[in-house]
Chain A
Amino acid sequence: MERIADFFRWLNDAHGVNLSIFYDAFDRSRFLEGLWTTVELSTICTALSLAIGVLGAWLQGARFGLVRQLVQAYIQFFRNTPPLVQLFFFYFAIGNELPHVLDEHGMLVPPISNVGWAILSLSLFAGAFNVEIFRAGIEAVPRAMVEAAESLGYSRLGIYWHVLLPLAFRISLPALNNNLVNLVKTTTLAYAIAVPELLYAAAQIWSEVLNVREMMNVLLVTYVALIAVLVAIMARWERALRIPGYDP
């Protein structure tokens, strides 16, 4: 470890290539914390957006027209407006208007922190796409399956949960994976509301240590590598779940 640190210190002194995250503990810890926060943010938002997707697809088949219209309104709103503006809207506009609560120091603070708003906003954004993806997947399930389940006496919820969803999940897995990759890329937007994810950490480092060029390259390579790993895992999972002979 020391050897590596020395090498990068030499690189800085001799050639002016300042990769401080390798030899400075404070910068390294900030960078790794940023990376970890990005991973956390992605994981939580994926889980939440999947839940929203499942719920939304279920509500789209509801009996009441009003419920269906509301779900449509939600989807169209979040799919056709910029996620950055949504994020700002939630954090600065709605966050300000919510009734403030007292924190442990006796100060009035908004009830949801900036990380909370980032999670909420990104999950709603990805969830809207997931609802559409699940709907397409559900539509692609042969009607015969549903009729068979009905004839076996399943309730509407039972059909949805035990028959439709598992099959639709497999069918829509490629689209879901694509959405997940987009979600990980979209977490970089949280930088604008000071969520300490990877881009934020890198920006902090380069504005203090003044090594913009090096940090930019490191940042780009890190993200590409992170997402390449994710894509590889997802591709392997898709292959594992493929039903032989069934290729929609």
Chain B
Amino acid sequence: MTTLPVLLTPGKAALSRPSGDGWRDLFGGGALGVVLAALGISILAGNAHAAPSLGGSPGVLAILLKWAPLVFQGFLFNLLVSVLSMLAGTGLGLWLGLGRVSQLQVLRRVSGAVIQFFRNAPWLVLLFYCMFLLPFSVSLPFGTVPLPDAAKAVIGLSLPVMANVAEIVRGGVQSIPLEQWESGEALAFSRRQILWMVILPQCLRRMIPPWMNLYAILTMSTTLISVVGIQDSMTLARAALVAEGRTELFIPMYLMLLSWFFLYCYPIARGTAALERGFRVRI
């Protein structure tokens, strides 16, 4: 952008308005409001729908509140899986990313192939793969370690995270100007020293926004574990709906679940956007 703010005529609507900062905007320009309004309307509609036929039975809100604690526990489990997968994937991805920018051509190619492979594979297929084909216990020198379903799911989700983190690391390292490497060489640092003491600390800051973005995507993808048979918020919500058996519950229950995920992921998205803006170079 080479146009200085002083040249813009005031009061003229820009053809595309970026969203502003501020508390009002913190909750999605009304997105949360829309979701909560929809939730409220569906509860009221459900009550009106149910009242004539089942007169006297508890209202939709009461049933939602009855099941909310259980489904919330499942939601916390989703969050736990997301944190564990993120940690595992970041740890592995860091090394894979460094391999991708190494000086050995073989290492670069192999890392590149691994990254491409795990970025191309759909997350659900990788999850299925790990659930079915990983053994249910691993025999190590000091004994057999059981591998519960949840652990396999964490492994399954950490694989695409690893590949994406590797790409982020590669992008970060490659965005540091060559001068930094050359200065390091001039000061007689070895390549490893340059990498760890000069380059990586600098790219850490600019890797954080895409990394946080990845975390948000991962959190939303943890719902996939319900498809492979693990108890999480989705399976519990479905079990609750089957147990109650009332069709007017469906919309409020799913809206409730959607709003929980929204409340968790939206602040992360806003934080990421704010960090990105902080990094943009202003001429």
A, B in one complex: yes
Is the beta-carbon distance between B16 and A57 smaller than 8 angstroms? yes
Chain B proximity of A101: nearest CB distance (Å): 17
Say how far B71's CB is from chain A's closest CB, in angstroms: 12
Q: Which residues of B contact A138 (CB under 8 A)?
A: 15-16
When A216-B133, A227-B120 are in contact, do A73 and B28 touch as well, CB less than 8 Å? Answer: yes
Q: What residues of chain B lie closer than 8 Å to A192, measured between beta carbons?
A: 227
* Chain A residue at smallest Cβ distance from B35: A77
Contacts A69-B30, A139-B18, A143-B3; is A84 near B120 (CB within 8 Å)? no
Task: For the complex, count residues of A whose C-beta is within 8 A of B.
Answer: 60
When the two chains form their complex, are residues A60 and B122 in contact, meaning their CB atoms are under 8 A apart?
A: no
Q: Are B122 and A84 in contact (CB under 8 A)?
A: no
Q: Which one, A92, A143, A223, contacts B125 given CB within 8 A? A: A223
Contact between B251 and A191, CB atoms less than 8 A apart: no
Does any Cβ of A come within 8 Å of B193's Cβ? no
The residue in B33, B124, B224, B238 that gathers the most chain A C-beta atoms within 10 A of its C-beta is B124
Chain B, interface size: which category?
A: 35 or more
In the assembled complex, which residues on chain A have CB atoms less than 8 Å from the CB atom of B19? 72
Contact string against B for A residues 87-124, beta-carbon threshold 8 Å, 1 for contact and 0 otherwise = 01100111011000000000000000000000000000
Question: Which one of A79, A85, A188 contacts B254 once the chains associate, using CB atoms below 8 Å?
Answer: A85
Q: Given A61-B14, A143-B1, A220-B125, A76 and B31 touching (CB < 8 A)? A: yes
Chain A interface mostly:
helix
Any A CB within 8 A of the CB of B279: no
Check A219 for interface membership: any CB of B closer than 8 A: yes
Q: Given A69, A84, A142, which contacts B224 in the complex, CB threshold below 8 Å?
A: A84
A105 to chain B, nearest CB (A): 22
Is B269 touching A80 in the complex (CB atoms < 8 A)? yes
Say whether B254 contacts A68, CB under 8 Å: no
Question: Which residues of chain A have C-beta atoms less than 8 A from B34's C-beta?
Answer: 70, 73, 77
List residues of B (176-217) whose CB comes within 8 Å of A's CBs: 216
Interface, chain A (partner B; CB < 8 A) = 57, 60-61, 63, 68-70, 72-77, 79-86, 88-89, 92-94, 96-97, 135, 138-140, 142-144, 146, 156, 159-160, 164, 181, 184-189, 191-192, 199, 212-213, 216, 219-220, 223-224, 227-228, 231
29 A-B residue pairs with Cβ-Cβ distance under 8 Å, sorted by A, are A69-B30, A72-B19, A73-B28, A73-B29, A73-B33, A76-B29, A76-B266, A77-B262, A80-B216, A80-B220, A81-B261, A81-B262, A84-B226, A85-B258, A86-B258, A93-B251, A93-B254, A96-B247, A139-B16, A139-B18, A143-B1, A146-B15, A159-B15, A160-B15, A185-B123, A186-B122, A189-B227, A191-B124, A219-B128
Complex A-B, nearest 4 residue pairs according to Cβ-Cβ distance, in ascending order: A72-B29, A76-B28, A76-B31, A93-B250
